[in-house]
Structure 1
Amino acid sequence: MSAVLKEQTAAGGIVFTAQAPEDLLDPSAQAFLADLHRCYEPRRRRCLAARRERQARFDAGALPDFRDDTRAIREGDWRVAGLPSALRDRRVEITGPVDPKMVINALNSGASCYMADFEDSTAPTWNALLTGQRALREAVAGTLSFTGDTGKRYALRPYPEQAVLLVRPRGWHLDEKHLLVDGERLSAALFDAGLFAFHNADALAAKDRGPYFYLPKLESMEEAQLWQDALSHIEAMLGLAHGQIRVTVLIETLPAAFEMDEILYVLRDRIAGLNCGRWDYIFSYIKTFRRHRNRVLPERGQVTMTQPFLKAYSELLIQTCHRRGAHAMGGMAAQIPIAGDEDANARALARVRADKLREVAAGHDGTWVAHPALIPVAKQIFDERMPTPHQQHERRDDVLVIRDDLVQAPPGTITRAGFEGNVEVCVRYLAAWLDGNGCVPIHWLMEDAATAEIARAQLWQWLHHGDRARGERGDGLFLDDGTAIDWVLFEAVLLGLPSRLAGQALPGAARVREAIALLEELTRRDELEDFLTLPAYERIA
């Protein structure tokens, strides 16, 4: 058993609010993280303040648009640095949390890459974060193994057969409450990325495997520049060559869609590509236009990538990446195998195939899946349609996307099943998250924080616009059967949910009523909470 530092031990301005294992957080690691905090925390706070100011303008009726002050970057003739060999072929990537079993299965899965996710699919309990960091360190060293409750042993395949490891730290908006520097919480992003690099950078660099990161939820080139400077600082402190750390950026916020060239430019000596983070992008669209009655989205099941505003976003990302020499990664297939129902399973796989065919035909260089069983399906499609390692030769010069294409609202309806489904997904996911599980199968979809956020933000928007519109103009929102979308409907669904879920073996079942209460509180607030995980984080260990 590893030695631990005593709770609340402070040295050099560092305080832990929980026990910290010495094998991961010895004095040198602490000093490393503290240095990052002191250098970059003021800028992080300025970036977050800029987000709030920008959102206030959107709330007042403004629309996001391409920036006038960066026109020269968009119109300039430049390209990003060449790709390292390990990142040239990324046709199928699997994502998931960082527990040891998942890490082993993902690295052994046959996917091109595995994105180890400290963000949307991990509930950031202190134990989960430390377990994940330790599992990744052992995976990099080749020593990771795991024995399940049944006695089954899991071990890594030989190194050349493993997927390429990429790590997604948490976003700039999140804090790490268990480590304080000079009385301030450390940035969760710098904790996750910094600690991983501190322990693994030398070994990964020796294998020509990075370190590689996926950077989430950026909203501007300034936030990308903050990552650029922080990662350069990490390289300098660890004695790595500049540009040794490579990144892929998820374009999963609406403001970032207008700054893709700019994000590539400021990260041009280390960026490998951009990714269509579709679920968070839909959530960001709702959040950006939360006060815009004319841009209320229909239920989630109708907001597919064939909707014009999402098609425009995807095609602009491909065009931008290929013009600059970067990969354009496709989005997540959230389906999971449906056991015991061959017809339903066949229909689900057909939807996955159609989605992956759309992506490869549009020019994407790779795609994401959430379950190992989908890897052969996605790989077959990309192998057949993309015989080369990538499609950067497909420049998509036919694409012309303007501001209005990216902000147009799709048509559609809100059904009773869609409304009730949003409530159920929110409650079930939140209950599991509070219980320490950040990746939850619900109705044969792998739900994570991003998909739960769509459901939660839609409920807030539907209810607040529906109620406000009836009060001011008498034309509220309605289900497709004519039922008013109001607090009476919401309360009825909430009250009926415990009996609907009773008897099911649900992750976090003991916290369902707490999850219902938190969802009701957040939904009734006059302001939409930026992220569900911000208030929920204060309730976990």
Structure 2
Amino acid sequence: MSTTLTRSPRVLAAPGDRHDEILTPAALDFIGRLTAEFGERRAGLLKERRRQTLRLAAGSPLDFPMVTSAVRADPTWRVAPPAPGLMDRRVEITGPPQRRMAVNALTSGANVWMADFEDATAPTWDNIIGGQIVLLDAIERRIDFTTDDGKHYRLGADDRLATIVVRPRGWHLDEEHLEYDGRPVPAALVDFGLYFFHCAQRQIDAGHGPYFYLPKLENRYEARLWNDIFVTAQDLLGIPRGTIRATVLIETITAAFEMEEILHELREHSAGLNAGRWDYLFSLIKTFGHRTDFLLPDRSKVTMTAPFMRAYTELLVRTCHRRGAHAIGGMAAQVPAKDPAANEAVLATVRLDKEREAEGGFDGSWVAHPGLVPVCREVFDTVLCERPHQLDRTREDVEVTPADLLSVRRVSGPPTPEGVRTNIAVALGYFDAWLGGQGAVAIDGLMEDAATAEIARVQIWQWLRHRVIDRESVLNVLDEEALALTAVRPWAPVEEARRLFERTALAAELPLFFTPDAYSRHLVQRAEARR
């Protein structure tokens, strides 16, 4: 890689507390090198995403790629063996990289903490750089603070902590507070680059390594881009190739048709695949929402036992285990209830979901709250016993066709008034929290993030497009929910949240994500350039 023309990005945001510890000249130079090498390639892949969307909308069939049939047919290749700290992943907890969350997650008894810069973080500059500070402090075990209500949080020197895995933002997002060559730096390179620069060697010294979750990939080419970034980053810092490990979230319909290819591209850096439920359904509607045979009912009725969802998860397990990779199940988003009877019902729901995953061959699963760690662990302990995983269950009994992955019609049905209201209320409530800088928020007993808001608003769009609901009724419910939210949160930006809902759910053309436009309009706060 040529470095003669490389220069550091300019910081366009005001300085914050301890930001100088993260935004060092050397770290910014590292980000600049990655941007110079890979920025244009990322832009080209985003253009290809749009072309693929148009092809599928025009009727092109979605199938397993013929050109990579040799990769799928070759029984010999495997991904790298599990890295230190990733051998046993039976319980993984997710949440934003905030100080309280870090302590709770790392000491929860979970095997892994996914520190989420993507769906669980509203990307204000303070949240992004503050999250990097939290990760640095967590690795150094120097988080020790007391909140205003007297609760004390600390990481003790002898605490057994979960393995940290960082989820950077997706390829579709920019970081507008950093500018390189007159353009925003890709957000994924900011989140990955800053963490890798500051923490990779520290994690290696602690006996683990720099590990990542990769969100919203749509094909093997996007996985290849990440692999090339990993190689370059390791070379720049003198870290052996293959030290980085990454788990890919299969949360787009197109990626579901290229699971083996994605593992193959990342094989020396691969740590497996994860099944992301709400983003997967969100992707399905974005891709095929114009077709009546992909009309979905209330999202509460689209369970993981639906034929097309079961095909997706069984194919994921079979693909992973065939290649020696971990298969990680989806999120249990429930929040434990204070009432004992209600809490028993919550735990029973979680237990049933985790039993389905463990018995289906998954090696671990996600929870959103520390209170769910014991039930998830109990279920996987029962199935795994003393084994760290079940990679030996190759699921050769599974045969999945393209038709199986796309058999949505078997669960179709009209939305109910309750389903319409729930989607509007959840999207509006989440938008309100996100605009206020909060990316993970408890709503009606569930820990919601951006993925939930996305599926909620695109379902409204899909139902309106196919005229199974009418616009006037939607606006009436929106009025009612906005008034109810204002009554509870009179200080909140409810009117801005309402306008965001109208732009992203009621427009003639569906915006692919709510985050880019909302980020530019509301969360970007530039100051005079520092560099």
TM norm structure 2:
0.94
1:460 is displaced (CA, Å) by: 0.7
Match of 1:371 in 2: 369
> 1:487-527 CA deviation, whole Å, 9 max, x = no partner?
11111111212333343258xx5211111112112223221
In the alignment, which of 495, 498, 512 is matched to residue 513 of structure 1? 495
Match of 1:282 in 2: 281
The answer to whether the Cα contact below 8 Å between 1:302 and 1:412 also exists between their aligned partners in 2 is no
Correspondence list, 1:285-364, <5 A:
285-340=284-339, 342-364=340-362
> 1:348-406 CA deviation, whole Å, 9 max, x = no partner?
22111110000000000000000000000100011011111101111111100000000
Deviates more, 1:151-160 or 1:323-332: 151-160
Counterpart-to-counterpart distance in 1, 2:27 and 2:282? 35
Match of 1:208 in 2: 207
Match of 1:16 in 2: 11
Letter in 2 for 1:511: P
Correspondence list, 1:466-505, <5 A:
466=467, 477=468, 485-505=469-489
> 1:182-206 CA deviation, whole Å, 9 max, x = no partner?
1011010000000001001111112
Q: Which secondary structure state, in structure 2, belongs to the residue aligned with residue 23 of structure 1?
A: helix
> 1:216-258 CA deviation, whole Å, 9 max, x = no partner?
1000000000000001111011110000111111111110000
1:259 is displaced (CA, Å) by: 0.3
Counterpart-to-counterpart distance in 2, 1:284 and 1:453? 9
In the alignment, which of 509, 531, 534 is matched to residue 513 of structure 2? 531
Match of 1:540 in 2: 523
Match of 2:148 in 1: 149
The answer to whether the Cα contact below 8 Å between 2:8 and 2:31 also exists between their aligned partners in 1 is no
Find out whether 1:122 has 2:106 as its counterpart.
no
1:159 is displaced (CA, Å) by: 5.5
Counterpart-to-counterpart distance in 2, 1:178 and 1:403? 42
Distance 1:304 1:12, change over 3 A: same
1:160 is displaced (CA, Å) by: 5.9
> 1:404-455 CA deviation, whole Å, 9 max, x = no partner?
0001112344111110110011110001000000001110011100011000
Instruction: Identify which of structures 1 and 2 has the higher relative contact order when contacts are C-alpha pairs closer than 8 Å and 6+ apart.
Output: 2
1:13 is displaced (CA, Å) by: 5.9
Percent of matched pairs sharing the same residue: 48
Counterpart-to-counterpart distance in 1, 2:478 and 2:85? 48
Match of 2:528 in 1: none
Match of 1:52 in 2: 50
1:82 is displaced (CA, Å) by: 1.0
1:146 is displaced (CA, Å) by: 2.5
> 1:454-495 CA deviation, whole Å, 9 max, x = no partner?
0011011111121xxxxxxxxxx2xxxxxxx11111111112
TM norm structure 1:
0.92
Deviates more, 1:204-213 or 1:221-230: 204-213
1:290 is displaced (CA, Å) by: 1.6
The answer to whether the Cα contact below 8 Å between 2:112 and 2:165 also exists between their aligned partners in 1 is yes
Match of 1:469 in 2: none
Counterpart-to-counterpart distance in 1, 2:333 and 2:72? 33
Match of 1:64 in 2: 62
The answer to whether the Cα contact below 8 Å between 2:9 and 2:31 also exists between their aligned partners in 1 is no
What stretches of structure 2 of length at least 5 have no aligned partner?
Answer: 1-5, 525-531
Correspondence list, 1:212-231, <5 A:
212-231=211-230
The answer to whether the Cα contact below 8 Å between 2:326 and 2:391 also exists between their aligned partners in 1 is yes
Counterpart-to-counterpart distance in 1, 2:360 and 2:503? 42
Counterpart-to-counterpart distance in 2, 1:87 and 1:26? 30
Counterpart-to-counterpart distance in 2, 1:515 and 1:63? 37
Counterpart-to-counterpart distance in 2, 1:63 and 1:345? 45
Letter in 2 for 1:207: A
Letter in 1 for 2:69: R
Q: Which runs of 4+ in 1 moved over 4 A?
A: none
Q: Which secondary structure state, in structure 1, belongs to the residue aligned with residue 492 of structure 2?
A: helix
Counterpart-to-counterpart distance in 2, 1:427 and 1:435? 12
The answer to whether the Cα contact below 8 Å between 2:89 and 2:364 also exists between their aligned partners in 1 is yes
Counterpart-to-counterpart distance in 1, 2:276 and 2:242? 24
1:272 is displaced (CA, Å) by: 1.1
The answer to whether the Cα contact below 8 Å between 2:95 and 2:368 also exists between their aligned partners in 1 is yes
Q: Which secondary structure state, in structure 2, belongs to the residue aligned with residue 69 of structure 1?
A: helix
1:158 is displaced (CA, Å) by: 3.4
Letter in 1 for 2:433: A
1:27 is displaced (CA, Å) by: 1.2
Q: Which secondary structure state, in structure 1, belongs to the residue aligned with residue 176 of structure 2?
A: strand
Counterpart-to-counterpart distance in 1, 2:419 and 2:344? 23
Aligned length: 511
1:143 is displaced (CA, Å) by: 1.3
Counterpart-to-counterpart distance in 2, 1:441 and 1:465? 31
Counterpart-to-counterpart distance in 2, 1:378 and 1:63? 38
Counterpart-to-counterpart distance in 1, 2:447 and 2:399? 34
Q: Which secondary structure state, in structure 1, belongs to the residue aligned with residue 466 of structure 2?
A: helix
Q: Provide the aligned C-alpha RMSD in A.
A: 1.4
Counterpart-to-counterpart distance in 2, 1:259 and 1:12? 36
Q: Which secondary structure state, in structure 2, belongs to the residue aligned with residue 537 of structure 1?
A: helix
1:152 is displaced (CA, Å) by: 2.4
Q: Which secondary structure state, in structure 1, belongs to the residue aligned with residue 493 of structure 2?
A: helix
Q: Which secondary structure state, in structure 1, belongs to the residue aligned with residue 305 of structure 2?
A: coil
Counterpart-to-counterpart distance in 2, 1:50 and 1:208? 39
The answer to whether the Cα contact below 8 Å between 2:164 and 2:211 also exists between their aligned partners in 1 is yes
The answer to whether the Cα contact below 8 Å between 1:175 and 1:187 also exists between their aligned partners in 2 is yes
